[in-house]
Every structure is written in C-alpha cells, then in structure tokens.
A = this chain, B = another copy of it.
C-alpha cells in the first residue's frame, strides 16, 4: 500500500465516498486467519500470484490438517512441502482431491489451474541419489504452472552424459542444478549455457561432505557466472525461484 493509495483513501473519507470504519478496515490491511498456532495469510496469493506454502516439517499432523483445511476453504491452491504419508492421509480425510508426491514429499490441493508459459525449466541432477531433492524442485515448479525437463544422473565423472543433453537444456529459460558430493556440476553447466542457474547442494555423500557443506561451498564459490544458490536440500526454494523467473512477462 503506497503513499498514493493512502492519499486517495483519505480523500475518499473526506469526500464521504467511504466511511471511517471502511477505511480503517482497509488500513488494517492484509487480513489473515489466526489459528493461534498459525496465522494464515489469505491475501498472499493475490499479492504474489502464488499459493500459500506450508512447510510441514516440525508441525504436528493435526496442525497440518487444520492449516490446509482453512486455506482450501478460500479456494486457494495449497502446497505442503516436507510432508509425510501420515500428514497426507489426515488431509485426504477432509479434502478427497488432495494429491501426494512421495519422492518429493509434497501434498497438493489444486483449486484452479495456474497459467503455464511456453518456456521450460530444466532440472538436472548429478546422481540418482539426488532424486528426492530434484523431485521436490520439479513438482513445485509444475504445481506453480511450469513445464519441466528432467535430466537425472548426469554428473561430471561422465561428462558426455551431460554434453549429449546440452541442446535440450539450452532451450530452457532457467536451469536448476542439483548435486551433492563436490557439487561440480553447477560450475560445469554454468560454463556451458547462457541461462540463470539455480544450484541446490544436497546432503548426499559421506565424510567430508559434512551434510552438504562440501557442495554448498563449491556452489557458492563457483567460477561460473550466473549461478545462485539455495539452502542444502532445498528443492522447493529452487523450484519456486525458477518459476518466478520462468513466468516473467
């Protein structure tokens, strides 16, 4: 709500075009439902063009169910990330159209179809073990209304597997690169293509991987330009940011 809108509102009050109470209601602004343990932000979708997202980890099954219920009553699309099977079943009891993606650990309730641009998002992984994070990214992007090109197990130890797919990747508008271990794939992809690369370090590996630190540091210090990074294992964050870029007018 910027200064111009406030000026207009004040003039409306002065001119009797709106009442003090109505103006107050507007100025109180962004309404939300307060569940006590969670404040649900119904106007968010209108403001941001995206559905409200629930980060389910650390919430009880009961809390997840309650939040999804209140949200979907407003005819919003709902995405629940890091959700387990038990949470999904609780939601399914009250919303029979809810869908669960087990590898990506996502619950989806879709009330309206999002607009989908022509261009695609590429999701590339270094190894097979990076797939759960990749699926979180890919499904997030799809639910937000994007076409996704999946290229899995294309790590730098056998770089010809990547080179073979370059033409397809270059047709995408933005690329998500997902790798654990030494995370070199982000630099290699960033050096070969001229598109924004969102790198996701994964906790895949052992020893000096230190739960994803090796890949995280490698991606942050990538010598390839155009690479930005999200949190370890944060497939959702990468999918969301990639969607923002891909859906740009």
Contact = CB atoms under 8 A, between A and B. Distances in A.
A198 B227 CA distance: 10
Contact of A4 (B4, B29, B167, B207): B167
A92 interface: no
A10 B13 contact: yes
Copies in the complex: 8
A90 interface: no
A182 B173 contact: no
Given A59-B128, A237-B225, A157 B194 contact: no
Interface string A176-213: 00001111101110111011101001011111111111
B219 A241 contact: no
B48 A194 contact: yes
Contacts of A50: 194, 225
Contacts of A63: 128
Given A3-B24, A160-B29, A182 B218 contact: yes
Contacts of A248: 173, 245, 248
Interface residues of A, number: 111
Interface stretch (A30-38, A70-78, A93-101, A107-115): A30-38
A212 B228 CA distance: 17
A112 B188 CA distance: 29
A12 to B, nearest CB: 10
B232 A208 contact: yes
Contacts of A217: 182, 208-210, 213-214, 217-218
Given A196-B241, A229-B230, A157 B221 contact: no
A231 B206 contact: yes
A3 to B, nearest CB: 6
Most buried by B among A127, A226, A231: A231
A53 interface: yes
A221 B241 contact: no
